[in-house]
Amino acid sequence: MITVIEANTPKLMREFVKFPFSLYKNDPYWVPPLINDELAGFDRNTNPAFETAEATFYIAYKDNVPVGRIAAIINWDEVNKQEKKKVRFGWFDFIDDIEVSKSLLEKVYELGRKNNLTYAEGPIGFSNLDKVGMITEGYDEIGSMITWYNYPYYPKHLEQLGYVMEKEYLENKFPFANVKPEMFEKIEGLIKRRYQLTPMNFTKTKDIMPYVDQMFDLFNNSYSDLSSFVAINESQIAYFKKKYIGFINPEYIKFIFDKDENMVAFGIVMPSFAEALQKANGKLFPFGFYHLLQARKNSKKTLFYLIGVTPEYQNKGVTAIIFSEYYKTFREKGIVDCIRTPELSDNHAIHNIWKNFDPVTFRKRATFRKDL
């Protein structure tokens, strides 16, 4: 007998967050989140995503033991502004029992039908800066702090329950040794002169802060044409600024400005915290903070988190300037591997940016859809 209850108390929300810790215990590829960080992200009073979204969290039990979880989500900006009658689901984990996954998804359908929505899609978070997608290939690679991991039976359950793939995402990597400065040095100088562009680098986080709002405005502008994109608002920008910018090495954030001091491009790269988070096992204390700090200083792997170029400068070689600046930083830090976070498989513009580095696709993931 499967019982599904709403996680509507602090105790149940902690159980919701901690369920994957038992499901993936000793799994070498799963990267645990920080428990308190997850809880804060689900707090309606602190996460501004809840200004434009609603979510209900559920836990499934079998014989009084937790066996699954799911978040049923509506992004009202997506529904009202983009007219996508979609109910989302995310943070979807379950044992290999079709009755468990089916019972959890029924809660998503209830929310969708209650609000006259026509289809469900997931796994996906509140906004475009949340995690997205279920792994369909590449289960034997370690995850990252900004992606979900799952067992191979997950997509099989969705297919059995009538879901079809909606969007596919690719994760690619390449060794830093593949990056040759002659690939972009000549064109970099040409682009700088032709468009009168200037790169800006940083060594202190406080010097980045005055530009962050402009960076997120450019982010909204540069990604607006993607079918899955929902713009983030001012409250969300302030939240991400406070929560994440200080966590990223300042030298891993690059801005490009035109002659009128308008930002035309940016890049955000993060050190890989995967192994450090595995050692922390969900807790900053007593030793988790130390492991994360060491990774921030010494990780030889980097994740390309975001690159944005304003539409009027796309396809004009501006990324050559960004790559040139990162090349100098990575060479100084002794970076060995470069990892790209999930990118839509049909986003050919972003794939073309990387083609000269001979990247290898090491993982595929997807969101899945079902009509209600």
Residue 292 placed within a domain: yes
**Is 153 in the same domain as 241?**
no
**Is 64 in the same domain as 87?**
yes
pLDDT digit string (tens) for 21-68? 999 999 999 999 999 999 999 999 989 999 999 999 999 999 999 999
**Is 158 in the same domain as 299?**
no
Residue 238 confidence (pLDDT): 84
- Domain boundary among the residues 104, 135, 169 is at 169
**Is 312 in the same domain as 285?**
yes
**Is 144 in the same domain as 225?**
no
Three-state SS letters, the chain: CEEEEECCCHHHHHHHHHHHHHHCCCCCCCCCCCHHHHHHHCCCCCCHHHHCEEEEEEEEEECCEEEEEEEEEEEHHHHHCCCCCEEEEEEEEECCCHHHHHHHHHHHHHHHHHCCCCEEEECECCCCCCCECEEEECCCCCCCCCCCCCCCHHHHHHHHCCCEEEEEEEEEEEEHHHCCHHHCHHHHHHHHHHHCCEEECCCCHHHHHHHHHHHHHHHHHHCCCCCCCCCCCHHHHHHHHHHHHHHCCHHHEEEEECCCCCEEEEEEEEECCHHHHHHHCCCCCCCHHHHHHHHHHHCCEEEEEEEEECHHHCCCCCHHHHHHHHHHHHHHHCCCEEEEEEEECCCHHHHHHHHHHCCEEEEEEEEEEEEC
Residue 221 confidence (pLDDT): 87
Has this prediction a pTM greater than 0.95? no
**Is 122 in the same domain as 216?**
no
- Domain boundary among the residues 138, 169, 200 is at 169
- Domain boundary among the residues 169, 189, 209 is at 169
pLDDT digit string (tens) for 182-207? 888 888 889 999 999 999 999 999 99
**Is 130 in the same domain as 221?**
no
Residue 227 confidence (pLDDT): 63
**Is 331 in the same domain as 204?**
yes
Q: Which range marks the domain in which residue 55 is found?
A: 2-169
CATH number at residue 29: 3.40.630.30
